[in-house]
Chains A and B, each alone.
Chain A
Amino acid sequence: MNRLAKFSYLTAIYCFFYFPIIILIVYSFNNSTYSSLWHGFTLDWYKQLGDDTDLAVVALHSLEVSVLAATLATCIGTLAATCLYRYLFFGKKLLHGLMFVLIVSPDIVMGISLLILFFLIKMQLGFWSLLISHITFCIPFVAVTVYSRLTGLDKNIFEAARDLGASDFMSFRRIIIPMLWPAILAGWLLSFTLSLDDVIISFFVTGPDFQILPLYIYSLVRIGLKPELNALCSVMFAITLCIVVVFQLVLRNKEVE
């Protein structure tokens, strides 16, 4: 009985998590525009999705921003983690604190604060403002991921490299990057999904000329239900799922090492 109760509790929560998503995916194949009853299997919504040129542009924008933001944030974040780990410098504590604040501060406050900044420096809201914002909110996540891995390394390795005449840059290139690549990749993937799914910050820092996928979905959701949207959300879900699987495999590899 006790086992049964535990089992049903866990099952109930998993149903709560997955039921809406499964329903969404099922409806994306439903041959009816408004009904919540099953009217037969169709791929029409996916076809419409493929024919939607607006959507293609928006999706491409999103991909562009996410890949660039994740890559640049990974570079800066990795360097930041290395600096925090290896060097003593003025303002190090403040830098630590700033990273922490960036992670925990409400997204909406970050969004409006960047909006004020861009307004003040008279920067056109669009691709660049979006890219800068995404890089900024991804940096701390990369830094934390890489830093926690760095603290697990043997410090003697760096001493040895130094004794053998390696410069700091050399030890960064030959030791830190090869030994940390799983953490760096994990940081990249995390940044990529964060950037791809972000609604709140992007809402404030992008302009009408540069629409991205989450905001496009948001505007569609607000206008009303379109069956295409089910298909679109299913595709987005599938993409995220793939990334999480890769991420988990990377993490597992890390543990095996």
Chain B
Amino acid sequence: MKADRLFKWTNIATIWLWLSLFALLPIILVLITSCLENDPVHLVRWQFTLENYRALINPIYFKVFWHSFCIAGLCTLICLCLGFPFAYLLARMQSKYKSLLLFLVIIPFWTSSLIRTYAIISILKAKGLLNTVLLSLGIIHKPLSILYTPSAVIIGLVYSLLPFMILPLYANIEKLDIRFIDAARDLGANTITIFARVILPLTLSGIVGGIVLVFLPAMSMFYIPDILGGAKSLLVGNLIQNEFLSAHNWPLGSAVSMVLTISMGLLLLIYRRADKIGQQHESISEI
């Protein structure tokens, strides 16, 4: 059995080595960098400081965080409002085309969001399709300027991230037992009550899963604001990118990253709680 042990330990060692070198160590390095002083020549000076974190309370950075939070939050909300009915209808549909329809959601999920973002430009630009159509129909008399505004960024983010909301919701709603809804209706519940007391609690884990999958990338996808938003709408992702590649202030960029990572961690904690509650609901409903 010497060969077995060799096999086992070579595998474990390979995986551990790779992940600790290229996943664990880099994250620790970010943490360390975020506590170092900035040096214009050598990037960092080996001097412990919490100045970078304090700098983030500065109104300029705080504004970026807040702005980014609002844009990502709004984008998540729109995705949820558009995605939930869609996922629900799709999951409840009885049609031989159902798998094809699901497949049509998976295609955008897989396609590069860069390419899809680019596709939006030709529609939103001043002489783009949207304006051409609206002008020729006489609905508007002056071209709308949507491109390079925060609205364009939100449209772009929703367009890129909507599949990430739909797919977890779909998976969750498909498992939902239709008999609960029937039972609630038999017991006299109206549509709103059924939605609030039956459907919502049972699909909570899917909803929170979707929110996490949309909200996090929305904060860090720097190229969508870059392409669609012009210089005006900076997101946390752009802030990190600027600090690292243009301003060369790595410690500050690292501090921003740490804050982003920690807020992500908190969100995930909420997600796990919601998942547990969801499971409890399921186990209750099994009884």
Measured between C-beta atoms, what is the minimum distance from B18 to chain A in Å? 6
Within 8 A of B (CB), among A225-257: 225, 229-230, 233, 236-237, 240-241, 243-244, 247-248
Task: Convert B83-112 into 0s and 1s, putting 1 for each residue whose CB lies closer than 8 angstroms to a CB of A.
Answer: 001100110000000000101111110111
Chain B residue with minimal CB distance to A79? B11
Decide if B127 is an interface residue (CB 8 Å cutoff): yes
Contact between A95 and B107, CB atoms less than 8 A apart: no
Within 8 A of B (CB), among A107-121: 107-110, 112-117, 119-120
B27, B212, B227: the one contacting A113 at CB < 8 Å is B27
Chain A residue with minimal CB distance to B222? A108
Contact between B8 and A200, CB atoms less than 8 A apart: no
Measured between C-beta atoms, what is the minimum distance from B134 to chain A in Å? 12
A83, A106, A230: the one contacting B216 at CB < 8 Å is A106
Dominant secondary structure at the B interface: helix
Contact between A89 and B22, CB atoms less than 8 A apart: no
Decide if A44 is an interface residue (CB 8 Å cutoff): no
Chain B residue with minimal CB distance to A241? B107
Contact between A169 and B3, CB atoms less than 8 A apart: yes
Measured between C-beta atoms, what is the minimum distance from B197 to chain A in Å? 22
Decide if B185 is an interface residue (CB 8 Å cutoff): no
Query: Known contacts being A116-B30, A139-B19, is A106 close to B219, with CB within 8 Å?
Result: yes
Q: How many residues of B contact A (CB 8 A)?
A: 79
A112, A136, A168: the one contacting B18 at CB < 8 Å is A136
Decide if B257 is an interface residue (CB 8 Å cutoff): yes
Q: Report how far A102 CA is from B22 CA in the complex, Å.
A: 10
Q: Report how far A237 CA is from B108 CA in the complex, Å.
A: 10
Measured between C-beta atoms, what is the minimum distance from A242 to chain B in Å? 11
Contact between A14 and B104, CB atoms less than 8 A apart: yes
Interface residues of B (CB under 8 A from A): 1, 3-4, 7-8, 11-12, 14-16, 18-19, 22-27, 29-30, 33, 43, 82, 85-86, 89-90, 101, 103-108, 110-123, 125, 127-129, 132, 159, 162-163, 212, 216-217, 219-223, 226-227, 237, 240-241, 244-245, 250, 253-254, 257, 260-261, 264, 268
> Besides A23-B123, A169-B7, 17 other CB < 8 A contacts?
A16-B159, A17-B105, A21-B108, A21-B119, A36-B122, A37-B132, A76-B18, A79-B14, A95-B16, A95-B19, A101-B23, A108-B240, A116-B33, A168-B3, A168-B8, A204-B245, A218-B223
